[in-house]
Structure 1
Amino acid sequence: MVCDEIDKLKLTETGHPHYTRPILEAASQNAYKVVDEILLGSPIAIQSTDESGYDIIQLSIIHRSEKVYNLIYEIGERKNRYRTILDSSKNNIVHLAGRLAPLRELRRRRGAALQLQRELQWREEVKKHVFPTYITRENIKKETPDMIFTREHEKLLSEGEKWMRTTAESCSITAALITTIVFAAAITVPGGNDDKEGIPLFSNNTAFILFAVSDAISLFASSTALLVFLSILTARFDEIDFLVSLPNRMLIGIVSLLLSTIAMMVAFSATLFLVFCQQKLWMIAPICVLAIIPIVSFVALQFPLIVDLFWSTHVSVFGYQRKSAVRKFNPNNIRLLFHK
């Protein structure tokens, strides 16, 4: 509505200052719909800069506004400019991506490890669009982009390592306990063995087959989880490891632990039915209800972390697949500004 009122003023050239502060603030707050609406009414607003000389793309990088970044950066003429643009301290956009994100953006991620991962993703994304020499170019303080990133994220790296180690230690204890339990259950099968041939007495029972399969799945899954968590504890915890390697290991470990827990409860339920229920089918219902309680509790507590790990590691927030599907402004109108 404000844009419509400004457009009624018929200020084709002087209308630009009316949009300066709003479009810069929108770029800083990731309000891509506001940016889209302003550029629809005044394409020249894309040239707006703040008191530090930063424009929309630079502000979107500094404030980690990925939706605004995707909305604007597709305009080809802008790319050539951003490959070489420097601020007053001779920082290029890779230097800007090396700065620590605002606290409100960091808090959108679960744990310091995923926060650092998103920061690394921003750095790698911006590196794709500059000349290779700019990745190692120094600013006025003789700092390269990597040096700025390391200095700004030193505390976050330490917190991410602590979070990873604490989580891996806790989960490895659980995985080791499950491995011990299901291994012992596999040796001492429910009902015992035949004295002559050593064959389990319930070997022809469906519940026994279910026990054997679920116990094996639980043993293999918990062993996998244990080994994965041990690999995390012995990792070097370098910056780049938080981009894909460590989150992937944590994802595999937690999924394996979840699978082993579910399989263990199924095996235990089958054992209860075999040994204590005397083939009474109505006992299946209360056993299933009791078995579901720890499973649901585990899933409810850990599933959000699994989703965050998968989404953050394997689903990109940059590029064509993440751009706004309802973009209103015409990129050709903006391209014409750079040919005049």
Structure 2
Amino acid sequence: MHTETAQHLLQHIGNDLEMGTLFSGSGGDELLVTAISSKDFRLACDLLGRYKTLHGDTVLMAIALNFPRELNMLEEFSRTGILHSKIESAVVIASDYTVEKCGTRVGKFISLFYVGIYWILKLLPLILKMLRWPYIKERVRTHLDAILLLASVCDLIRFRNDPMCYHLYYMNPLYEAIRQNSYDVVEYILSYFPDALTSANEEGHNIIQYAVINRSENIYNMLYQMGEHKNIYRTIKDPSRNNLLHLAARLAPSNKLNLISGAALQIQRELQWFKEVERFVCPLNIIQRNSFDETPQMVFTREHKDLVIEGEKWMKATAESYTITAALIVTVVFAAAITVPGGNNQDTGLPVFTSNTAFTIFAISDAISLFAAVTSLLTFLSVLTARFAEQDFLFKLPTKLIIGLATLFISTTSMIVAFGSTLYIVFGQRNSRILIPIVVLTCLPIISFVTLQFRLIIDLMSATYGRSIFGKKRDDTF
């Protein structure tokens, strides 16, 4: 939608007759929905300011469907101005440390490192401005415009309609916003229409039950803002006598599962949801049966049977691939350890280059690579022989995979360093300049490994030991 053209046309609507013709019937609603669907919330605000009438829930539904995602930390800092002050503080700390330590032996050794940090921090705002700042600025502006539009629509519904009719405007959009995991939309609807907190959809599910079914953690976390009111949800049941834990035991919608890569991580997230709700509900609910005579654990096992099988296949396929790699590294570095570069002294049996610094680096790197590769190999073998029970996907199996991948990364890096040291020992004795291409070429496979595989390690560590998706996110209360 062309914003400037639409704004220009709006400014040239000269009288109330033309305005009434443009916004007659549900035409105004359709214009608003078109603007919102185009993510042009500022234009929608201008249209709403002239229209000031709603004929149904289509406008609020469009907001629920198209509301921008929450701002991330960098964008939030940019909005509040915290980012600049944090960078300045870091620059001062790095600068002071460099100045204080440069006179000492340790300072001379690490001063170059801290000078690098100093200039990186100095240049960070400029880099952000060049690469990301226009995007961040646009994201923040769009988010603020969407908040303003949402508040204006809720105001219009509340002041232009009878209180008995409010639910006709907010009910469907509310549950769509829950499905979309849109915290801001749900929060504003609940703040303008408190009765929505106790509402239920056509299937008899309230907002927390529906949030659990759709794995909308932002909405579920509202429990932590409800005070004593949250105790209602500890024992509440739906028409099929499912308590909250029964609903958490269901398989998540496919669109939510597909956000997580790998069946093992998907079943892990499902277990995290189940354990979180299990801690929340009353202990009696853990063994309670629904109308189908099933406990929550029985529902979880039935619903996730196929996903557990897929998780086992994914784990085994991953472990098998890395087992081969680790075994090859063990073979190579062990051979390198017993056939050292330069050979051995015939009289003493010691390596010829024992006193050479490059040889020391080779020996240390080769030893680290061997020990790390053996550790990685044994870890992946333990994954292949694991029993793959449901509960093992929560911590046990991901931890093994993390250890295996981390040690494999250390082993690969150390092996490459050892190889680079060997090249320098053989070819760099007469020409020290060969060190530069060796260092550059050594970095290439390490960077490739980080680019291609390190993301999996980060995902595993974040999902297993990172910050929980559950908990109180804001200080507001309901």
- TM-score of the superposition, structure 2-length normalised? 0.66
Moved more, 137-146 or 265-274: 137-146
What is the CA-CA distance between 1:11 and the residue it aligns to?
Answer: 4.4
1:158-197 map, 5 Å: 158-197=309-348
- Is 2:262 the partner of 1:124? no
Q: Please give the per-residue CA displacement for 1:6-47, whole angstroms capped at 9, x wherever unaligned.
A: 233274554344221111111111011111111222222112
Q: Counterpart of 2:391 in structure 1: which amino acid?
A: I
What is the CA-CA distance between 1:305 and the residue it aligns to?
Answer: 0.6
Q: Please give the per-residue CA displacement for 1:170-197, whole angstroms capped at 9, x wherever unaligned.
A: 1011111101111111111110111111
From 234, 242, 251, the equivalent of 1:91 is 242
- Determine if contact 1:218/1:260 at 8 Å carries over to the other structure: yes
- TM-score of the superposition, structure 1-length normalised? 0.92
1:61 is matched with which residue? 212
From 287, 290, 299, the equivalent of 1:136 is 287
From 301, 304, 317, the equivalent of 1:153 is 304
- Structure 1 stretches of 4+ moved >2 Å: 7-18, 71-74, 76-79, 276-279
2:456 is matched with which residue? 305
Q: Distance in 1 between matches of 2:237 and 2:161?
A: 35
- Determine if contact 1:26/1:35 at 8 Å carries over to the other structure: yes
Q: Distance in 2 between matches of 1:209 and 1:292?
A: 20
From 342, 351, 355, the equivalent of 1:204 is 355
1:109 is matched with which residue? 260
- Tell me, what secondary structure is at the counterpart of 2:350? coil
1:338 is matched with which residue? none
Q: Distance in 2 between matches of 1:241 and 1:162?
A: 14
Unaligned runs of 5+ in 2: 1-148
- Is 2:408 the partner of 1:260? no
- Tell me, what secondary structure is at the counterpart of 2:272? helix
Q: Distance in 1 between matches of 2:314 and 2:454?
A: 17
Q: Counterpart of 2:424 in structure 1: which amino acid?
A: F
What is the CA-CA distance between 1:83 and the residue it aligns to?
Answer: 1.5
Q: Counterpart of 1:213 in structure 2: which amino acid?
A: I
Q: Distance in 2 between matches of 1:31 and 1:12?
A: 25
- Determine if contact 2:223/2:230 at 8 Å carries over to the other structure: no
1:232 is matched with which residue? 383
Aligned residues: 326
Q: Distance in 1 between matches of 2:264 and 2:408?
A: 20
Q: Report the RMSD for the aligned CA atoms in angstroms.
A: 1.5
Give identity over the alignment, percent. Answer: 54
Q: Distance in 2 between matches of 1:105 and 1:187?
A: 52
Q: Distance in 2 between matches of 1:12 and 1:50?
A: 19
From 170, 174, 177, the equivalent of 1:19 is 170
- Tell me, what secondary structure is at the counterpart of 1:52? coil
Q: Distance in 1 between matches of 2:336 and 2:250?
A: 53
- Tell me, what secondary structure is at the counterpart of 2:280? coil
Q: Please give the per-residue CA displacement for 1:112-151, whole angstroms capped at 9, x wherever unaligned.
A: 0000000000000000111212111111111111111111
1:337 is matched with which residue? none
- Tell me, what secondary structure is at the counterpart of 1:83? helix
From 172, 181, 184, the equivalent of 1:33 is 184
Q: Counterpart of 1:197 in structure 2: which amino acid?
A: T
Work out which of the two has the higher radius of gyration on C-alpha atoms and give 1 or 2: 2
Q: Distance in 1 between matches of 2:198 and 2:391?
A: 35
What is the CA-CA distance between 1:215 and the residue it aligns to?
Answer: 0.7
- Determine if contact 1:24/1:49 at 8 Å carries over to the other structure: no
Moved more, 33-42 or 170-179: 33-42
1:279-294 map, 5 Å: 279-294=430-445
2:469 is matched with which residue? 317
- Tell me, what secondary structure is at the counterpart of 1:8? helix
Q: Distance in 2 between matches of 1:54 and 1:17?
A: 17
- Determine if contact 1:79/1:129 at 8 Å carries over to the other structure: no
Q: Counterpart of 1:47 in structure 2: which amino acid?
A: T
From 378, 388, 397, the equivalent of 1:246 is 397
Q: Please give the per-residue CA displacement for 1:185-230, whole angstroms capped at 9, x wherever unaligned.
A: 1111110111111111111111111101111111111111011101
- Is 2:227 the partner of 1:76? yes
- Which of 1 and 2 has higher RCO (CA within 8 Å, sep 6+)? 1
